[in-house]
Structure formats: C-alpha cells, structure tokens
Amino acid sequence: MDSLEEYEPHVTQELIDRGHARRMGHLENYFAVLRRQNMYSNFAVYGELNKAVSKRQLRLALRLLLLKYPILSHTIVPKKYPNHEAYYLSQEYLNKPFPQHDFIKVIPHLELEDLIMNSQSEYREVIGKISEQYKNDNFKVTSSLIELVAPIIVPACDPERPNWRLICLPSRDTSAGEAWTNFVYVSNHCGSDGISGTNFFQDLTALLSTIEENGFDYEEEIVDNNVIIDYNEDHKEISKLPISITDRIDYKPRLTSLPKFFLKNIVSEYCEFRTSNESTVTSRYSPSSNANAGFNHLLHFSAEDTQQIRSEIKKKVHAGCTITPFIQACFFVALYRHDKVFTKSFLEYGFDVALPSSTRRFLPNDEELRDSYKYGANVGGSHYTYLISSFNVPEGDANKFWRLVEYYHDCFLKSYDNGDHLIGLGTLQLDFIVQNKNVDQIISTTYLDHQRGGAIISNTGFVRQDTTKPYYARDLIFSQSAGALRFAFGLNVCSTNVGGMNMDMSVVQGTLRNRGEWESFCDVFYHAIGEFASLGCDTAVAGLV
C-alpha cells in the first residue's frame, strides 16, 4: 500500500487538510491510465465569442474561474517522479496491483503562459500550423484544423501546468493587439470531460460579462504580472477540491449482472463489425508514428434548422425524445445506404455503439454540491450492439425510421434504470479487480493491438446563450480523437441557440479506402438528416464544411 511519504514533498498533509490534495477516485484513475499508457491524446471544445477578449480580461477571468473550481488547476502527482513515464510502462509496475490511486493536487504557481498553448515552446510548431490553417480557411474552424489539433498531447503529470490548455486562434482584426474571439479548450481528459469544456466557455463569458458590467471593480485582483494562482498568497481563497464522483455515486455493478456483461463482450469480439486494415489496429501514441490517425468532417446546422430537427422529433416520436437517438438512427441508416462499410458476412450481424453521458444527474439535489462537479471527468454511458439488418430503411419509409428513433431513446433511458449506464466503467472499480489486478494492465490488454469496430456518439447537449449579456458564445464545436478506444467512427455534437448545431464526425484511417470514400459517407449521412427532419436537400448540402 502506497504511503504519503512516497509522494512527498509534492503532496503534504497540510495540502490534504486544506482540501487541495487528495487521492484520485476510480474514474479519475481510468482517464489517468489512458494518458500514462499513451492511449489517448485529447478532446477539444472550440469556442467563438461575440467580441474580442484582451489579455488582461482573460487573465482576470481565468483567475476567478480557477479560484472557484480548483479541479481546473490540478495536476496528477505520480509515483517515481521524475522517472514516472518509464515506470508506468515497466513490468515492475504492471505486474502488481495498486489499490490506492495516485494523488492530485492544486498547482502551487500558475501564470497565464502556463495555460495558453501559444506561449509554450514545445507546441510552437503545431501552433504555427494551426494558425496558418485557420487563416487559410478564412478564420473558420474546419475539419482540416481539427485534424491538426487531434494528435496534440497534454502531459498528465506536469508539476507546473494543468491537464488542459487554451489555444488562442488568430484574429482577423489585428489592430486590437493581443485580443481574441476564438479559442480552443484542449484537455487530456484527466479531470475534465466534454461538459466541462462547454461549461468552461459558459463560465468564461459570464465572468467576462460581469467584469465589463462592473467596470473592472476587480481592479485589486489585476496585477502587472501574469500570475493566475500563487498558492502561498491565495490558498485561503481557493475552494476545496470536490471528492471524487465515484465516492458520491456507486458505479460498481451488481455481481448478478456480470455474466450478461461478459457474454456480450465475448459475442461482440466475433459477431460484430470489425475493421480489417492493418492501419486501423489500436496502438500507443508516439512522436514518430501516425498512430490512431483519422479523417474528420465537420457538419453544421443553423439555429433554425436545429429547431426544425427538434420539432420534427417531438412531432414524430414524443415530447420527451431528444436529438441523440435521432442522430444515431440517421448515422446507422447512412452506414447501410453507403454500402461501403459492412461486408455482410455471416458473422457480421451487429454494430456496437457507445453513448457517453454525464453522471452529474445522479448527484444529490443540492445546487452548491452539483455546482462543485461542473468540472471533472464525470461520465458514464450505455454500450449496446444493434442488428445491422435493422439499419435498412428504404427512402420514403419514414415510419420504420421513427420506430428506430423511439427504440434507441427507450434503450438509453432503460440504461439508467438497469445499471447498463455504469457497468462498463464500473466493472473496473469492483473490489476484487482493484485489490488483485493491475488496472493499467487490464485496460492496456483490452484496448491495445486490436482491430476496431462500432462508433462512439457524444452529445454535450444544448448550451443556451444569453445574447443580452456583454459576452456570449456565438458557436461551440466539440471534437475528440479516437485514441486506442477501439472505435472506428466518432460523432461529437454540440448546439447553441446562436450558432446552431455542429457535428464533428471522424473515422480512423483505413476503415474506409480513402478520404473521398469518407466524404461520400458524410454526404449520405447529411442527406439522411435532411430527409427525415424535412430540411430539404439544399440545406443539407449547404451545411457541409
């Protein structure tokens, strides 16, 4: 059992007593495993604000944000620092269990340059490419830009920087000096999720609005240097780290549910869609390889079209049905119609789909407590296999399509009641696993060196903007890399009442023959949305980015 002494002087009893250091929970450790075993790069949320933010405003807003939500200023304190990277990949580590997880703590000193990737020398080359691409694309976020951001690695155990960064994209108007309207929140998923990313822009714009409305009443907070947090001076103002969500919510499944879970996994290995190209095999990230690379395609629907889609869903299914099962059904129908994905062999009868969602909904109904979990990797999700034959919906057969939408919606709701929503991640948290097995080894063996299959569909939801405020987000885009998570396809969705709905679609290279075939599939998918939401073909074509 690890003792505190192993982590000193980086973690002290004083930090723990103040609530500014603690052990990671099981779910936090899962995402730490993905990063320390080099199996995941990042997710990103692209935010366009309605007007420019100066460096001075940004510094103050970030300070106020990090004081209130210290999970945004945390780092992971590993074993064997500074030789931790080699240690976690060694047999010395992987051959024995570690029931107690590593610590997280508030970083003692943060400056604005520690958060802004543009200022960091190790990212200079990729930031240069990103800035040039953004300018070449007429200062718009495109799939080409997303593909440049996707492989960026944010280290998980940097003692001086947190597990996320902010990219400031170039401004069309250069007369304002250091001021930006477009940002990219990039996270390695440690202590953060897609909801955290959209919350970041919600809180950032709210704080910027408050600062402007108050005429910089926070003047005493603004200093001439770039310091965001100085722990020695600020520790009394920093909120306590919330306890891990797995100490609030029990993810662990009932033992009686395990036989069905393991049987499903066995069947999925042999009877579901699987890629066959050597380039689609899951692998660790390395600087010299093109591991887990994908093609992206960004789709956009205006706010009016998004409302039309929602209205059509509620009219054709019921008022409680959401947009995610509609997107899922359109995606499945497009896969079948495209006729380039499935081999239609005897053993390929199922297609696997994971639908992550926030587990914050299971927290006690306490506003202050729920607010403390606004940031963090607080996710669960359903993971089901569906018959490929059911995706065959001929054009004009709207009734069959809407029955699928209702069925997918019901499946997702039932996953909350029957425990399927938590069983995948919860199984890794069972006592007999944690106490007797090395979790890194289990996850690595399960994920690495396998062909891919299925899709992960993530919807961060509808993020309402108050356009009467000085600052708000005009547009939000959510994207994430495939990593070694064994999914061939990815679909990431985010919507606002201003910019409408954006979908970042991705496919691991080699799943389809080439980018042209991928673009063709995206066109089929987009037309399926237009068909079933009664948008019209012209709208669908106009939305391709």
**Active-site annotation, residues:** 189, 193
Q: Which of 311, 503, 70 is nearest to 62 (CA)?
A: 70
Q: What is the 3-state secondary structure (H, E, C) of 457-526?
A: EEEEEEECCCCCCCCCEEEEEEEECCCCCCCCEEEEEEEECCCEEEEEEEEECCCCCCHHHHHHHHHHHH
Q: Which of 298, 339, 308, 268 is nearest to 491 (CA)?
A: 298
Residue 481's Cβ-side half-sphere holds a number of Cα atoms within 13 Å equal to: 31
Name the burial class of residue 303, with classes exposed (0-12), middle (13-18) and buried (19+) by CB atoms within 10 angstroms of its CB. middle
Interacting residues of 482 by C-beta distance below 8 A, sequence separation 6+: 292, 294, 452, 488, 490, 506, 508
The rounded distance, in Å, linking the Cα atoms of 19 and 310 is: 43
Residue 48: beta bridge partners? 182, 475
**Locus of tokens 């296999």:** 385
The rounded distance, in Å, linking the Cα atoms of 336 and 439 is: 37
Residue 101's Cβ-side half-sphere holds a number of Cα atoms within 13 Å equal to: 23
Please give the torsion angle defined by the CA atoms of residues 363, 365, 370 and 376, in that order, rounded to the nearest 10 degrees: 10
Name the burial class of residue 155, with classes exposed (0-12), middle (13-18) and buried (19+) by CB atoms within 10 angstroms of its CB. middle
Q: How many CB atoms lie within 10 A of CB 273?
A: 25
Q: Which of 192, 150, 168 is nearest to 460 (CA)?
A: 192
Beta strands per DSSP E along 55-133: 74-77, 103-106, 109-111
